[in-house]
Chain A
Amino acid sequence: MQNQPLALINARLIDPAAGTETRGGVFIEDGVIRDAGARVTKAEVGSRTLVVDCGGDVVCPGLIDMRVFVGEPGAEHRETIATVSAAAAAGGVTTIVALPDTSPPVDDPAVVDFLLRRARDTARVRVLPSAAITKGLRGLEIAEIGLLREAGAIAFTDGFKSIRNAQVMRRALTYARDFDALIIHYAEDADLAGTGVMNAGELATRLGLGGIPAEAESIMLDRDLRLAGMTGARYHAALVSTRQGLAALAASKAAGLPVTCGVSINHLTLNENDIGDYRTFFKLAPPLRGEDERLALVEALASGLIDVIVSDHNPQDVDTKRLPFGEAEAGAIGLETMLAAGLRLVHAGHVPLPRLLAAMTTGPADILRLPQGRLAAGAPADIIRFDPDEPFLVDPAKLHSRSKNTPFDEARLQGRVKLTVVAGEVVWE
């Protein structure tokens, strides 16, 4: 059985891979893009095709989110693959990379297999499991990188944890290189972060909360980048939040190392002042930093130093968030608001739209070596349509995630996703 071909016409086509923006359409058949460009019009696609007139809306590749906590296995009360993928579809995210910090953690090929099967049966979007770098995410012994990769792990990361021991990290990078495996690391020196719960500085002092200095990130990142240079492994810094971290990455990139970095949408659009009177929805890891750091991140996004934007989707329920700030869990949901929050930077004139989209599509696709994330003929038909100017109010009750811990609660955003297509099938409209 073949699906009816689909054509999205009369659209503002943005292909971040080619860096082009044209008026035209996308023609989809058998789950792949057959053609894209000004040629694709209603007259061209034939009568058998389902035609959607986009009325000048943006049509671009579906978003790829490299950092999502999917809840399965073990935290189904916070999220499931069904709910997380519904949230992703509604947010225009067509591929998600699942974090391994589950229970049990993804450190065994059987768990990778479980995730792939659950995704096949319950997900609306593509779910790619990442696997642990170290057994049990304990940071002590290397996990079975070769077997996990064979089972289908797209990359290796200890998720929310940082590997403390430099020798372990060195061996992991060295070993991963043999398999050409990508290592993704959350860089934070646990000792220096200590009991801190927010960015170190005047605000933390006023609130009487323990601070995490920028150096907790940059010292760990410096170590990692030196080890990446030493081993030649592919290294991706999961979340950069400081100018010091950016400087270290810029130097390594200039030296030609195969290193890349991501930033969370929260750190691009929020700062520590949003914590206000101990609002735990703004407790994140790494912590939200000062406005000067945020502006530096935006600049690094615009310049291309930052390769990837992630939602860092981390569903937390009331029991883990309705606590004193120091005891609350870190993390925020973000799949459904990532694009619209990112468009704030476009509307403010800080980042061009194609560049923003590149960091959510081509950027992660290149790092993960995925064929999607582009509008080329032959690419998987993962496509979204949105009007970047359409305003809406974020209503947590209407979000699809099982948890409601959004820092954009009641925020006015622009750019709701109208249509999401995965492998040629409409999964959201």
Chain B
Amino acid sequence: MALPQTPAPFPHRHLLGIEGLSAGDITGLLDQADDAVVHSRQIDKKRNVLRGRTQINLFFEASTRTQASFEIAGKRLGADVMNMAVANSSVKKGETLVDTAVTLNAMRPDILIVRHHQSGAVDLLAQKVDCRVVNAGDGSHEHPTQALLDALTIRRRKGRIEGLTVAICGDVAHSRVARSNIILLNALGARVRVIAPSTLLPSGIEAMGVEVFRDMRKGLEGADIVMMLRLQLERMSGAFVPSLREYARFYGLDAEKLGFAKADALVMHPGPMNRGVEIDSAVADGPRSLISEQVEMGVAVRMAVLEALAGGLPNAA
């Protein structure tokens, strides 16, 4: 059977979350991202899919790697990319969010990449602009391109996602990465577990289709993928867990705990890592770590997302 030459057009105006995407939407993006990986490994990486298009990276929350990843992705596709770092101190809360959206909209960008510290803020902004919007992380809600790049990384290594057991470990309560991954992995048929102390588990998390573990060793048993979450250190000094060393002892991933997962289990982390806290350097830098690969796949997935959304732009080629 011949594969279709052109993928089905992406049926969404924006990418605000994984919620609302079908399994077909997701695999379509991953297929496109596989192509982007090939392009990105060539000497001449430049394509002209987004030539003449303007992409604005609007980050209300500081970010180095995600912003760089979106910038490179846009540039590789030929877009004019502009970075707008809105210092938190100068942002007078959301009043400026809507005002900023309206102002930027008047400059007629084609794609806005937005990160904001409030859940739902990117949805709100998307209602006020005419261009395409990509959620680069909103509060504790979603971070769809992170989930897509994680899925791409897993699929390229394991050949599939369906049927794999994925253990997500750490601060699930405050993590948008966890939410997007739970939704995506469930949509593609993986078995999802979360491992965390109860103070870092949001209420009703079971209803999102996960198995909950408080004991890391038990949670890792039989896992194909161990996905560590980044800890925000200010939460770790008595507010949610008593101390860093106590957390590292029970929930830090080291070689010993990793031994409970499958022999060929792979380790992921969205970065930046707190070495020696949630992940041991020996594991992070070891042969089973996919962490650098995740970064590479991040650019590819973002290229795929930009290309998919650009396909729906007015006067698209």
Residues of A within 8 A of B (CB): 200-209, 211, 213, 277-278, 319, 322-328
Contact = CB atoms under 8 A, between A and B. Distances in A.
B94 A205 contact: no
Contacts, number: 76
Contact of A323 (B93, B138, B142, B202): B93
Chain A interface, >50% SS class: loop
A277 B119 CA distance: 10
Contact of B119 (A200, A213, A322, A326): A326
Contact of B203 (A204, A319, A322, A327): A204
A17 B90 CA distance: 57
B208 interface: yes
B205 interface: yes
B310 to A, nearest CB: 25
A327 B208 contact: no
Contacts of B120: 207-209, 277-278, 324-326
Interface residues of B, number: 26
Interface of B: 19, 93-95, 97-98, 116, 118-121, 123-124, 138-142, 176, 179, 202-205, 207-208
Contacts of B123: 277-278
A365 B138 CA distance: 47
A230 B281 CA distance: 60
Contact of B95 (A202, A213, A278, A319): A319
B199 to A, nearest CB: 12
B203 A211 contact: yes
A339 to B, nearest CB: 32
A200 B201 CA distance: 12
Contacts of A277: 120, 123
A200 B203 contact: yes
B95 A323 contact: yes
Given A324-B116, A326-B139, A205 B121 contact: no
A308 B202 CA distance: 34
A342 B202 CA distance: 34
A89 B205 CA distance: 46
Contacts of A328: 94
Contact of A324 (B119, B202, B207): B119
A278 B179 contact: no
A92 B141 CA distance: 42
Chain B CB count within 10 A is highest, among A203, A213, A322, A324, for A324
Contacts of A205: 202-205, 207-208
